[in-house]
Amino acid sequence: MRKVQISRRAVLAGAAAAVVALDPVNLGWLTQADASPGIRVPDLDGELLLDEPSREAVADDYGHIVHRVPVAVLRPGSARDIQKVVRFANQHGLKVAMRGQGHSTYGQAQTTGVVIDSSTLSSVHRVATGHAVVDSGVRWLELIKATLATGQTPPVATDYLGLSVGGTLSVGGIGGATSHHGLLVDNVLSLEVVTGTGALVRCSPTVRPDLFHAVLGGLGQFAVITRATVRLSPAPTTARVYHLTYPDLPSYLTAQRKAVADQRFSYLEGQAVPAGQFVLEGVMYYTPPNAPSDAVLLSGLAPAVVEITEMPYFDWLNRIYDVVQQLLPLRLPGPWINVFIPDEAVSEYVSSVLPTTAPTDVVLLYPVRRELITQPFVRLPDSAVVFLLAILRAVSPPDDAETQRLIALNRTQYDGVVEVGGTHYPVGAIPLTPADWRAHYGRSWPAFRALKRRYDPRHVLTPGQGIFE
């Protein structure tokens, strides 16, 4: 599809130069004043933006590597708008991608068709005992603030709360509390979605369960999420944080395995740091006067150095938000790689990869229990315990040659992950072919393909993942 050159901003709702039609020959948009015939576009509650700044803004993401300029940006005023645009796209050969906060790193939420900016779907509709109903464009930061006002919290939170609900649920959503409660997608009670055919559907574990389980962690291939009902649990008030330092990988892995096995911490993560050290990050959530016992929590972990701090629960959840916001304007290329490694292979694989990292890389390494992660299209190794390895890189100053070198390195390291029975968490910058995706889904591929044929037969949705083309 050719890039459309538009010299002015036009919107579908309330503008003097409102768009009324699509020129199917030149792939341009026509106003009422244009003499050329065109294909009528639907009336919308929101607006369709055609100006270059709006289109360029969504032709980028947190990785700043892939840039696809769409022909238009939909800022929906309702789920009906998404339904209409997806139907329009089916009729006229356009692709559609839903964009939350654009925090993927390799063009996953981009398209040359129509990008739907979910940020205008931003209402927390209801916070009740045990659940909240929220639009897909709401960020977890806003949702958690609303739920804490009622003494409740989502059981799992990602490290960065600036992500959208819909975007995270389309991928999986991992965090330190995953060691207790699974991924964010394992804590969803029901969804409202627009399928690839333009149907507005409500689904749950008992109502259209095939669609419900496909959408959660389904990478936007079957439907786009417009609203979600998520599980809540009673919120603690305080986080006691334990930073336990280890001098080598074997002792660190031994401690991590012990901590995940007995689930002693409410939150469990960890990372490799410069100078060959490893830090287990364990957090115990509580509400005074029920303070945790340091001796019990540290028993058998044998760290070389112990650092214990306390802070309010919300401050802990939101600890990196300001740092990420400060980095965003720098627009540094971020060729990240995020993979899951089976327990039995983690020591050898990580030992081979760490020498390739730079001192400025953030290297996360922590375990989760496989049995807690239940959605079928979140692909994990066949191992009771799996380790997330995330290498979060930033190329500073920006350098195209270095960025491409690291993308090629990601591909080599991904191949190594596959060889040891691992998988990837699909937010990073790994060049993949449709054959790679078929291998990624493995035994689940026939079901994945069948659901695609049922719910998005024209392959309208989310082309940026590159699964089918």
Domains, the chain, ordered by start: 19-119 (3.30.43.10), 121-234 (3.30.465.10), 238-319 (3.30.70.260), 332-425 (3.40.462.10)
Q: Omega before 288 cis (within 30°)?
A: no
Cα angle 106, 54, 222; round to 5:
50
Low-confidence ranges of the chain (pLDDT < 70): 1-39
Instruction: Please report which residue ranges of 41-174 form alpha helices under DSSP H.
Output: 52-57, 79-92, 140-148, 165-171
Would you state the pLDDT for residue 41?
A: 74
Would you state the pLDDT for residue 42?
A: 79
Q: Dihedral, CA atoms, 364, 368, 372, 373, nearest 10 degrees?
A: 40
Cα–Cα dist 451/462, whole Å: 15
- Closest by alpha carbon to 95, among 116, 66, 75? 116
The pTM (predicted TM-score) of the whole model is 0.91
Q: What is the pLDDT of residues 42-81, one digit of tens each?
A: 789 999 999 999 999 999 999 999 999 999 999 999 999 9
Cα–Cα dist 98/461, whole Å: 8
Query: CB–CB of 423/440 below 8 Å?
Result: yes
Query: CB–CB of 100/109 below 8 Å?
Result: yes
Q: What is the pLDDT of residues 276-311, one digit of tens each?
A: 899 999 999 999 999 999 999 999 999 999 999 999
Would you state the pLDDT for residue 6?
A: 29
Would you state the pLDDT for residue 17?
A: 40
Would you state the pLDDT for residue 4?
A: 34
Query: CB–CB of 109/61 below 8 Å?
Result: yes
* Residues 110-138: b if buried by 16+ CB within 10 A, e if exposed: bbbbbbbbbbbbeebeebeeebbbbbbbb
DSSP SS3 for 218: coil
